[in-house]
Amino acid sequence: MQLTADVRGTSAPVTAATTATGGLSVTVTLPASSTGGVPFAPEQLRVAVEADATLFAYAQITYYRAPRLSAARFNAIGSQLLLTFDQASLVSNITTQP
């Protein structure tokens, strides 16, 4: 069975499809998305049977834009570099505030 996938009409190649308990496990390579300057953009992924487009499923996905560095400064004694980003982020259990 051949599958097709798309996000907002842009093709998303199906790279793997295997049977799983109670259904099918599908791996899709998502197309690049421009979030238009917003930190995240929710979209819908549509996967359909190529031979019968009436057989399909949707999945909610979210594109995230990488945080942008807003400021960098040293602490009062110069022993730490303090970074500020344009959005909240969680990297190596370190949280920052926008």
Cα 64 from Cα 35, distance rounded (Å): 8
What is the sign, positive or negative, of the torsion defined by CA atoms of 10, 45, 18, 24?
negative
Evaluate whether 97 touches 88 at the Cβ level (below 8 Å).
yes
Evaluate whether 27 touches 13 at the Cβ level (below 8 Å).
no
3-state secondary structure of 10: strand
Predicted confidence at residue 98, as pLDDT, reads 47
User: Over the stretch 23-47, which tens digit does the pLDDT of each residue have?
Assistant: 888 888 888 766 665 667 788 899 9
Q: Give the pTM.
A: 0.58
Share of the chain above pLDDT 70, in %: 82
Domain boundaries, the chain: 3-64, 67-98
